Amino acid sequence: MSFDINNLLRENIKKLVPYSSARDEFKGEARVFLDANENSLGSPLTKWYNRYPDPLQWKIKEKLSAIKGIPPQHIFLGNGSDECIDILYRAFCNPGKDNVIICPPTYGMYEVSAHINDIEIRRAPLLDDFQLNLAHLETLVDAHTKIIWLCSPNNPTGNALHREDIETVLNNFDGLVVIDEAYINFSRHRSFIPDLQDYPNLVVMQTLSKAWGLAGLRLGMAFASEAIIEVYNKVKPPYNIGQATQDLVLKALDEVGQVNDMIKLLVQERTGLETALKKLPVVEKVYQSDANFLLVKTIDARGIYQHLLDKGIVVRDRSKVELCEGCLRITVGTEKENRDLIENIQSFGRK
């Protein structure tokens, strides 16, 4: 495998001169800001929100660096993981010419973003055990394949992909391999972040939406080589992460202990929910999960979904998704929420 980022980048991105914001043009501290046409009188909220935020979010990256064990220069922060996904398409994939590979069933935004950017999607469906079909995947790769998307732990199946299979892809593909680790905190498997030094074509995505409980703030993370992070920063909007989000994230990152306690509790609840679901007559199978949700095969997914909805409980009907026929995806809730769920599925079975 011979990886050269310049062989992947779109020509217009190579030539792109990024927008230089007012806050990009000086370093260090200042006492008076008269450079960015802000409202010098303040704002109705707080005097600080009249100022543009740090465009590169260095304080957050420094805290994440200590937590993740990777230099801040290898971190990109996006407005949700969806921005991390979209920028890769816009930077590396030529519309109407290049293609990417997904392994369904998987996270839907890889395909949606491809369509938005007019990029061909090629599918290498997972095997019946929800693992990679390496032989099929290999047949789909050609000179115009720019990205292979791998979600591990996978959504909606919940399982982690075999590490040796992912390494096989990394070692034999000249394009970008993106591993989406949104649910890695709930898994027994280790992250691929430490492997970035061995694979220049690797991008690892994570998020603060799941284990950190910050879905409302919309902050996604991409970890990659400095060369790939430079591309991210070149293409992104100047101020893609607002000041309010940055302030709240900085506070949250001081609470690693609390987050670890929440992860531990959710994993315990996942085990208890799995056990309870397996006892229900309407449940045919509960798939092993490394995430904060369970994929559950039932005798009547649509009927159970509607029954729960009538009771004010929302789960996700995945029964029309490839390889997920008859399945519901159920997020692990609180102890009370999980108990309510089980009781209401039982009441469906007695109808």
pLDDT digits (tens, 9 = 90+) for 41-95: 888 887 679 999 999 999 999 999 999 999 999 999 999 999 999 999 999 999 9
Q: What is the mean pLDDT of residues 232-261?
A: 97
**Ordered strands of the 293-298 beta sheet:** 283-286, 293-298, 327-331, 316-317
- Among the listed residues 187, 139, 193, 136, the one whose alpha carbon sits nearest the alpha carbon of residue 162: 187
Using pLDDT thresholds of 50, 70 and 90, give the confidence band for residue 40. Answer: confident
- The Cα 70–Cα 47 span in angstroms is 34
- The Cα 151–Cα 176 span in angstroms is 14
Using pLDDT thresholds of 50, 70 and 90, give the confidence band for residue 23. Answer: confident
Distances in whole angstroms, Cα of residue 277 to Cα of each of 63, 225, 328: 39, 43, 12
The CATH classification number of 5-254 equals 3.40.640.10
Question: Which residues touch 195 (CB under 8 Å, ≥6 apart)?
Answer: 170, 202
Instruction: Check pLDDT > 80 for residue 29.
Output: no
Selecting from 3.40.50.2300, 3.90.1150.10, 3.40.50.720, 3.30.1490.20, what CATH number does the domain 257-349 have?
3.90.1150.10
Domain regions of the chain by residue span:
5-254, 257-349
- The Cα 330–Cα 123 span in angstroms is 25
- Per the DSSP assignment, residues forming a β-bridge with 203 are 178
> Residue 349 has what pLDDT?
66
pTM: 0.95
> Residue 47 has what pLDDT?
66
Q: What is the pLDDT of residues 287-306, one digit of tens each?
A: 999 999 999 999 999 999 99
Token readout for 294 is: 């369970």
Instruction: Check pLDDT > 80 for residue 166.
Output: yes
Q: What percent of the chain has pLDDT over 90?
A: 88
Token readout for 108 is: 């839907």
- Per the DSSP assignment, residues forming a β-bridge with 120 are 99
Q: 3-class SS at 129?
A: coil
Instruction: Check pLDDT > 70 for residue 1.
Output: no
- The Cα 217–Cα 220 span in angstroms is 9
CB 284 within 8 A of CB 298: yes
